[in-house]
Amino acid sequence: MSVRKVRDAVVLMGAFIAVLWILQVFNWADGYRLDYQLGILPHQVSRLPDIFVAPLLHVSWQHIEGNTVPLFVLGALAAYRGIVKFLLLTLIVAVTSGLAVWLFQGGDAPTVGASGLIFGYFGYVVIRGFFDRNLLDVGVGIVAGILYWTILQVAIPGTPGISWIGHLGGLFGGVLAAWVLRARPAVGAGPRGWTTGFGGRAVRPGGPGRAPSAGSAGSPGSRDSATPGRAPGAHPGSKAAEDLLRELEEKGI
């Protein structure tokens, strides 16, 4: 994690929140017609593309006020590992949340609001550290879970005026994105160990005291096992691939 990435995440979410409030002003001034024109209507094929627009709209000032703080906090926590990953996460959550409403919700009332994104960011932040083997992200996820676990109450079926289906769809999308966007080891490298999240590696599989395997350096069957950071028998290009992935991750890609 770097100060630059945290700053970029905060700026991005601040800009996103500003866009939502500007749209709310226009929507309110127009008698909330945008909600009916661009909200998700279940089972109507012509309105399927609205799953990408509906999260930007709200039905009242109380609605957007209630969403603003958790959206900003959870969004910033989800974005500080890289803006590109965050944009892909947002796309995945918008699709899963919107499709859940379009496929399974009953009635003919339009559904709008950023709650599906909030649930997606929540699921992503809570589970991301375990998929990435990142101790800092695990800690952040635990804190986020403690602070915002109460939002899960509005995902209970039967809550009046609440699209609990959209919330569950967003939560599923966040967990799915954490798995899809997880950090992967370089091609040919050994299993990934846990990292601290501050640029250092915490524990590697097998531990520091692991005995040399058969065919170690100096033995007749030696197979590159003396080369630091390379798995036995790994292709020489795997080290370059690992360096490239590490550089992309440092740049937030």
More confident residue, 89 or 147: 89
pLDDT for residue 30 is more than 80: yes
Instruction: Identify the residue with better confidence: 158 or 216.
Output: 158
Domain that residue 161 falls in: 3-180
CATH number (domain holding residue 47): 1.20.1540.10
The reply to whether 247 falls in a domain is no
Rounded to whole angstroms, the Cα distance separating 74 from 145 reads 10
Report if residue 119 sits inside a domain: yes
pLDDT interval class at 158 (50, 70, 90): low
Residue 175 lies in a domain: yes
253 lies in a domain?
no
Q: What is the spatial distance between Cα 50 and Cα 58, in angstroms, rounded to a whole number?
A: 14
- Give the per-residue pLDDT at 200: 54
Residue with tokens 């966040």: 174
pLDDT in tens, 223-247: 343 344 444 444 444 455 556 556 6
69 in any annotated domain: yes
Residue with tokens 């974005």: 79
Which neighbouring-strand residues pair with 201? 195
Does the residue 189 lie in any domain? no
Q: In the chain, what is the greatest distance between 2 CA atoms, to the nearest angstrom? A: 81
Question: Would the pLDDT of 39 be above 70?
Answer: yes
Looking at the predicted structure, is the pLDDT value of residue 79 above 60? yes
- What is the tens place of the pLDDT at every residue in 164-221? 899 999 999 999 999 999 887 665 555 667 887 666 555 555 544 444 344 433 344 4
Structural domains in the chain (count): 1
- 90-142 pLDDT, tens digit each: 999 999 999 999 999 988 889 999 999 999 999 999 999 898 888 888 999 99
Average pLDDT over residues 35-58: 96
Q: How far is the CA of 87 from the CAs of 224, 225, 244, in angstroms?
A: 40, 39, 21
Helix (H) or strand (E) holding 140: helix 135-148
- pLDDT greater at residue 216 or residue 52: 52
